[in-house]
Amino acid sequence: MGKGAALSDGVAKKIVLSYAYVLLWIFLSFTVIVYNKFILDRKLYDWPFPISLTMLHMAFCSSLAFLLVRVARVVDLPAAPLSRRVYLTSVLPIGALYALSLCSSNSAYIYLSVSFIQMLKALMPVAVYAIGILFNKDPYRPSTMANMLSISIGVAIAAYGEAKFDSRGVFLQLMAVAFEATRLVLIQILLTSKGINLNPITSLYYIAPTCLIFLSIPWIFVEFPVLRAKSNLRFDFAVFGSNSLCAFALNLAVFLLVGKTSALTMNVAGVVKDWLLIAFSWSVIKDTVTAVNLAGYGLAFVGVAYYNHSKLQDLKAREAQKKAQQGDGERRMPLREGEVAGDGDGLGKKKGDDARA
């Protein structure tokens, strides 16, 4: 009785912690998105410099990641250090894509509402699947492609019903989705396939400095001249410091959520977060959300939910197959001392039988 109670307590604790990690990630992701919108929007804080904001995030994350890895040693680096060749051929391309993804995504907040951006982000599974096929990482399946088509149609309907449609913002957000999807696929091809598994902190340790360098190139030509020309420009350390801290905390939350649950759990939680952001954008920020918007996103939402369900079923099937293989291995018990294998007719002989014959 006591053992069963202890077991149920342990299960209950694990469930409570899992929900806590999910809620923490949703809260921080929600906060970073709304905070970025607040800073970049010309009608709110009016600091429309997305490259500069992303560079601040990367500089802050690089510094804290260095402290956690090298000074505090809270997180361990991979057992085998990354060689120069791996860094140049794997980390640099991923860092460049990360810079392009973040910069494009933050730039979209200048032109589009938070709610519409979340609707466009529903295209992420479509982009990941298409790029996975392009790189021969995922097999082509007609059923999956039909599901991807339904998501795309839903997003197209949502875009058609958008009250404040801006082609520049849509282009930037679609580019952000494409860059991020390519980055996720390349992580599997260039790092995971080589046995290099990086958690969010070690990823920041390696990739954030690279991302910062790549961002500095367009920043020098695009935003730096404008910033230098502004005589009334002020840098609010409280606003930008807390914003950067939230961005870093979000990466820690990803580490906890994926490490203690799964990446699939984060995808499902992301769907909940998107609906919350749409509701917040409509009720608090007073963004216009039309019935056509909701109908289109509803269709895309069903497609994304089905995609997550299919991934869950595939995961369960692989786990069942793995357990079956382990069971087969356990049934093939090793021979006891004093026995030899049979000669094919199911009969074996003990050591010494030949000597006694």
pLDDT in tens, 278-330: 898 888 888 888 899 899 999 998 988 888 778 777 777 777 777 777 766 65
Decide which of 84 and 312 is more confident: 84
pLDDT of amino acid 8: 61
Q: Contact 152/117 with Cβ under 8 angstroms? A: no
Q: What is the pLDDT of residues 15-41, one digit of tens each?
A: 777 778 888 888 999 999 999 999 998
Whether residue 142 is contained in a domain is answered as yes
Confidence of residue 264 (pLDDT cuts 50, 70, 90): low
pTM here? 0.78
pLDDT at residue 138 greater than cutoff 50: yes
Whether residue 171 is contained in a domain is answered as yes
pLDDT at residue 333 greater than cutoff 60: no
70 class by beta-carbon count within 10 Å (0-12 exposed, 13-18 middle, 19+ buried):
exposed
Confidence of residue 54 (pLDDT cuts 50, 70, 90): very high
Query: What one-character DSSP code corresponds to residue 165?
Result: -
d(CA 293, CA 163): 9
pLDDT at residue 63 greater than cutoff 90: yes
Domain residues for the domain of 104 are 15-228+238-319
pLDDT of amino acid 346: 42
Across 34-57, average pLDDT: 91
Whether residue 356 is contained in a domain is answered as no
pLDDT at residue 188 greater than cutoff 90: no
Rounded alpha-carbon distances, angstroms, from residue 230 to 47, 50, 235: 11, 16, 12
pLDDT at residue 344 greater than cutoff 50: no
pLDDT of amino acid 263: 62
Whether residue 354 is contained in a domain is answered as no
Q: Contact 117/285 with Cβ under 8 angstroms? A: no
> Percent of the chain beyond pLDDT 70?
85
The count of domains in the chain is 1
Across 331-352, average pLDDT: 46
Q: Give the Cβ contact number of residue 164 at 10 Å.
A: 11
Confidence of residue 357 (pLDDT cuts 50, 70, 90): very low
pLDDT at residue 336 greater than cutoff 80: no
User: CA-CA-CA-CA torsion for 342, 348, 352, 354, nearest 10 degrees?
Assistant: -70
Across 260-266, average pLDDT: 66
Confidence of residue 13 (pLDDT cuts 50, 70, 90): confident
Q: Which of 115-129, 132-146, 256-270, 279-293 has the lowest mean pLDDT?
A: 256-270
Whether residue 41 is contained in a domain is answered as yes
pLDDT at residue 52 greater than cutoff 80: yes
Whether residue 42 is contained in a domain is answered as yes
Whether residue 4 is contained in a domain is answered as no
Confidence of residue 236 (pLDDT cuts 50, 70, 90): confident
pLDDT of amino acid 209: 93
d(CA 340, CA 159): 72
